[in-house]
Amino acid sequence: MIRLQAALLSAFFASILLVGLPAPVLAENTKNLDPALREFAVQLLAEHPAIRAAESEVEAAKAHARGQGQPLYNPELGIGYEDVGDEEKTKELGLSQTVDLWGKRSARYGVAEAELSAANARLAIVRKTLLADLLKALSGYEVAKSTLAIASERVKLNQGFVELAERRYKAGDLTQTDLLTAKLTFAEAQAAESTAMADFSRSEEQLLAITGGKLPPALLSESQPPEDTPSPETVVAETLPELQVSAAEVEAARSRVRVARKNRYPDPTLGFSIGEQKTFEPLMPKNSQTVIGLRLSIPLPVRNTYNAEVDAAGANEITLEQNRRNLRRQITARLEASHRRYMAARAAWTQWEQQGAAPLEEQRTLLQRLFESGEINAVDYIIQLNQTFTTESAGIELRGQLWATWFDWLEASASLGEWMENIQ
């Protein structure tokens, strides 16, 4: 059962049109992530309305392709009866068929096939975009949650210090200026906590809107993105779903040009009929004979040559081709920019780990001992105490930025599904 579930998960993420970045890089540092996050993502993508809507578009495109692959014309059955008074009566039964002489059926099927390819690529875009939105919203939620916890802890410590400062002021051990500084710092901490609460509420709302009211497992607790990432040059841009959509639209436009050109040539209609003709003459026996008929009709493209439709389809093809080239430039720029942003965030995080990630809780305990022993005054204590909270908040923001830029890069390179699959 476990092997079957793992196989289904692998197949699901493989459906997000991956470009095949090196697996060791994507697997690096994912071992500390909660595997429940992977399962949650699978469930979310399977049930999300946006995914189901895109899947319905694919099914509609499949049905349209089946329809376009059917014969273009149906046969026609004709029944005739002619009564010329008492002298002649004719009955006939005929069958006619318009022939797709120029291959219009195959040309229209080519359009439908290209539209189906575009629908599949759009489904892949919806999947990877929703997955990226989930992970970035989760990252923002955890940053806001940790920031709020730090802000609340800062308020608690500042409130305790204000109470201590008031007692010392009454005892004459603290100046009024120091007491005022403590109160102002406490008010600032309360304002920061209020801001953190609002940010947390907004991030929670954004996350719940994506997940439908469910909170996914934690992500940032004990892990971080890999230090080494593939360069943008390793990504084949044409395999990205955005360009696959554009390429399919161009191919559909080319097929429409072929359809428009073939529509200029009329298809003939062939008919066959068989009947009986009876004649009546006075004083003569009734005369009956079999009548066989053949018909051929061809529309004459005289009043409308359909050249305008060919010109319109050709102009539309040129437009979509130029749009595809422009999109490729944008995607290439996005790949390079997202990679640079991630590397910059990685450098900032590494520097912070080396310089600012000292045990902050120990620093707060040390500051309290120094203040109680009189080695530092109240102003120095409260300033340095709040600086530890500022440093801790900065670290959380840097970690959140690191994850956000990593997800931007994975989304740009269409590698989110593969990265999620490596969470074990």
Instruction: Confirm or reject CATH 1.20.1600.10 for domain 2-68+109-264+317-421, answering yes or no.
Output: yes
Percent of the chain topping pLDDT 90: 47
pLDDT of residue 276: 85
CB count, 10 Å around CB of 180? 12
pLDDT of residue 3: 46
pLDDT at 8: 42
Q: What is the pLDDT of residue 19?
A: 45
pLDDT at res. 339 = 92
Q: Is the pLDDT of residue 107 over 90?
A: yes
- pLDDT digits 0-9 by tens, 211-229: 888 888 776 556 778 776 7
Q: Based on the number of CB atoms within 10 Å of its own CB, is 140 exposed (0-12), middle (13-18) or buried (19 or more)? A: buried
> How far, in Å, CA of 124 to CA of 244, rounded?
10
pLDDT at 293 over 70: yes
Whole-number pLDDT of residue 359: 72
Per the CB < 8 A criterion, the answer to whether 410 and 132 are in contact is: yes
- Of the candidates 35, 36, 44, the one whose C-alpha atom is nearest the C-alpha of residue 12 is 44
pTM of the full structure:
0.82
Q: How many whole angstroms separate alpha carbon 79 and alpha carbon 96?
A: 11
Mean pLDDT of 269-274: 92
Say yes or no to pLDDT of 253 above 90: yes
Residue 86: pLDDT band (50, 70, 90) is low
Percentage helix, strand, coil, to 5, in the chain? 70, 10, 20
- Written as one string, the DSSP assignment of 355-366 is HT-S-HHHHHHH
- The residue among 410, 419, 423 whose CA lies nearest residue 133 is 410
Ordered strands of the 287-297 beta sheet? 76-84, 88-98, 269-279, 287-297
CB distance 94 to 271 below 8 Å: yes
Distance CA(304)–CA(201), nearest Å, equals: 64
pLDDT at 208 over 70: yes
Please report the pLDDT score of residue 100 as a whole number: 92
pLDDT tens-digit readout, 111-159: 999 999 999 999 999 999 999 999 999 989 999 999 999 999 989 988 9
Domain boundaries, the chain: 2-68+109-264+317-421
Token pair recorded at residue 135? 């992970």
> Residue 151 has what pLDDT?
92
Tokens of 60: 């509609």
Q: Tell me what the pLDDT averaged over the chain comes to.
A: 85
Q: In which band, very low, low, confident or very high, does the pLDDT at 26 lie, cut at 50, 70 and 90?
A: low
Q: What is the rounded average pLDDT of the residues 247-276?
A: 93
